[in-house]
Structure 1
Amino acid sequence: MSLPTIPAASTQVGFPAGSVSGRSTVVAVHDLGDGRHGIATAATPFHPLDHTWPDQPADTGTLTVGGAELPVVDCLTGAVGPDSAAVLVGADIPVRRGDDGWVWLVLHVVESLPAGDLLGAEAELRVDAERRAALSAAHTGCHLLALALNAALAPRWRKDPGRADAFGNPDFDSLAMAFSRMDTTASTDVYRLGKSLRKKGFTADATEELPALADALPALTEAVNARLAAWVAADSAVRIEVPGPELTARRRWACDLPEGTAAIFCGGTHLHRLGELAALRTELRLSADGSELTAVTVPERR
């Protein structure tokens, strides 16, 4: 069961700045069942799985407390409502992160606890830095793919869909997105090319100026990969813009590309410079019925 004290403030996080280690005080321990517990500290370098858009997997690593080094096998988002003393976890949270009156916690998932009362004890936190770096490369690659794909598909919009990216191109990535996931080797993005997107003005059919999307896919892939290669070669700076240290802060990915600064709201972790990559390439696939476009984007780290 949870320790009786519920923190009064949301967890402060260091991962937007790239932190992978730190020390902090244990403020709660929550029983997750099956012998697992979620340990919350006042501050942490760990990136938890987002409960509303779980695109980036959680950090893993170690948490040392009470004389024991505990493997952190997962990291979840927890929340306590304004009229409750219960910690809700993941999909059980009924509101979006940052809603007024809620306390938001990073829960470091461990499979055993040392003896004694942990509340108030100092913990040492260490993220698996190599895994973090791989996930960060995949997430940065995902955003670059979005911008490059938007540019390549811009001629396929018959009208303004009402939403543009940082460079003024119709935001195909945002408007068509059905699924996005990162792992340590790639990001996978699935776009739905259905009736709703057609009503907004997108066409996958052949026109007087363009071949059908299925026929154009090789040239489209080549154009996207050429743009990605140019951006990697430019060694552009990457940063996370954040108004405060709380988990609830609305964070924004920004990258100073040759065309200008691009920004996308994002809660994940990222590279510091594109020069940390040796290459970045995507493979575009269209489903047999033409209803879905899938992009698998692979970063090659130096």
Structure 2
Amino acid sequence: MTLPSRDTLVTYPAGSIEETAAVLHTQPHGDRLAVLVDRTPVHPVDAGWPDQGPDRAAFVVGGEALEVLDCVVGASDGAELFVGSDIPVRKGTEGWAFVAVHLLAADAAVAEGDTALIAVESDHRQALSVGHTACHLASLALNRALAGAWRKEVRTDALGSPDFDGTAIETSTITEGGSVDEYRVGKSVRKAGFDPESLDDLAALGDEVDRILAGWTTSGAHIRIDRDGDGLTDRRWWVAELPDGEARIPCGGTHVRSVAELGAVTVTLTRRELEGAVGVTMVSRAGA
């Protein structure tokens, strides 16, 4: 059987944790077996912005449960499969199929033409969804708390605040129930008009972020995922109907359906001195 000619259909944006899928292609990948299917509920890691890790999941084939050891975004030109950072083209490139590559044990008993029941571990999915939603809310709250720190007009975030997060973010990591975001305030951020002295009292800044978050998380605001389609590379947006307005952020991850599922969300801010810059780490945590 040839490599798929279209993107994997993904059902995790709608909250699915179980699908019956046709196995389209298998091939060795290092010491594992790469398995491609027509549809999947498993969230894969995107090498371009690997903030959310893979779901924990299993393939059930012929009554045997096979552990999914990893799941990553791959791409094929019809002749060869490229996985993760080895993909040589941008997502959505014409003539390429972008696929969820499920990595199983090398001796996993699954073959092209099989039908597999793919089941995602629900507790782990929920914890990552809580963490990803908390991450978005914390970034919006941080932007709002720092709104007075800008001396120039800059791009704004989904709620109209100056976008410190989008300007200074270096890495973001979604954890179970929270996130870790790393910011770097160097020459380019200062040139954009940001006053680094606003980061001198991180305790007070953190208190203000928590105050803003408390107003949102007690609102019971509804959250949804809007999407252009069900293909892996179809654009998707996280949409939260917050008391201050509707926030709409491009995002390919998984999320809860209401801020009521989060409990309280709080942040911890720490500072580190870098060469020619200030580094700030924001750890957000839901359920606190």
Q: 280-289 or 124-133: which moved more?
A: 280-289
| Partner in structure 2 of residue 263 of structure 1 | 248
User: Which residue type is aligned with residue 26 of structure 1?
Assistant: V
Q: 2:52 aligns with which of 25, 44, 56?
A: 56
| Partner in structure 2 of residue 6 of structure 1 | 3
Q: Secondary structure at the match of 1:169?
A: coil
Pairing 1:118-267 to 2, within 5 Å after superposition: 118-161=111-154, 163-205=155-197, 212-214=198-200, 216-267=201-252
Task: Give CA-to-partner distance per residue, 1:198-243, whole Å, 9 cap, x none.
Answer: 11000113xxxxxx521x3222111100111111100111111101
Query: Runs of 5+ in structure 1 lacking a partner?
Result: 206-211
| Partner in structure 1 of residue 30 of structure 2 | 33
C-alpha distance in 2, partners of 1:39/1:300? 36
Task: Give CA-to-partner distance per residue, 1:97-117, whole Å, 9 cap, x none.
Answer: 2222210111111114455x7
Does 2:56 correspond to 1:78?
no
C-alpha distance in 2, partners of 1:97/1:113? 31
Pairing 1:9-24 to 2, within 5 Å after superposition: 9-24=6-21
Confirm or deny: 8 A CA contact 2:33 2:108 kept in the other structure.
Answer: no
Deviation, structure 1 residue 91? 0.6
Deviation, structure 1 residue 30? 2.5
Query: Runs of 5+ in structure 2 lacking a partner?
Result: none
User: Which residue type is aligned with residue 115 of structure 2?
Assistant: E
Which runs of structure 1 show a deviation greater than 2 angstroms over 4 or more consecutive aligned residues?
112-115
Structure 1 residues 114, 56: closer, same or farther in 2, change over 3 A?
closer
Structure 1 residues 85, 66: closer, same or farther in 2, change over 3 A?
farther
Confirm or deny: 8 A CA contact 1:80 1:87 kept in the other structure.
Answer: yes
Q: Secondary structure at the match of 2:196?
A: coil
Task: Give CA-to-partner distance per residue, 1:21-49, whole Å, 9 cap, x none.
Answer: 01010011131111x11211100110000
- The number of aligned residues is 286
Deviation, structure 1 residue 149? 0.5
C-alpha distance in 2, partners of 1:235/1:137? 14
C-alpha distance in 2, partners of 1:30/1:255? 40
Task: Give CA-to-partner distance per residue, 1:39-98, whole Å, 9 cap, x none.
Answer: 1110011000012100000111110124421011211111012xx511000010122322
- RMSD of aligned residue pairs (Cα, Å): 1.5
User: Which residue type is aligned with residue 149 of structure 1?
Assistant: L
Q: Secondary structure at the match of 2:254?
A: coil
Q: Secondary structure at the match of 2:25?
A: strand
User: Which residue type is aligned with residue 193 of structure 2?
Assistant: G
Task: Give CA-to-partner distance per residue, 1:254-285, whole Å, 9 cap, x none.
Answer: 10000010011011000110001221110011
C-alpha distance in 1, partners of 2:19/2:222? 25
TM-score between both structures, scaled by the size of structure 1 = 0.91
Q: 1:109 aligns with which of 103, 113, 117?
A: 103
TM-score between both structures, scaled by the size of structure 2 = 0.95
What is the aligned-residue identity percentage? 42
Q: 7-16 or 177-186: which moved more?
A: 177-186
| Partner in structure 2 of residue 273 of structure 1 | 258
| Partner in structure 1 of residue 281 of structure 2 | 294
Q: 273-282 or 91-100: which moved more?
A: 91-100
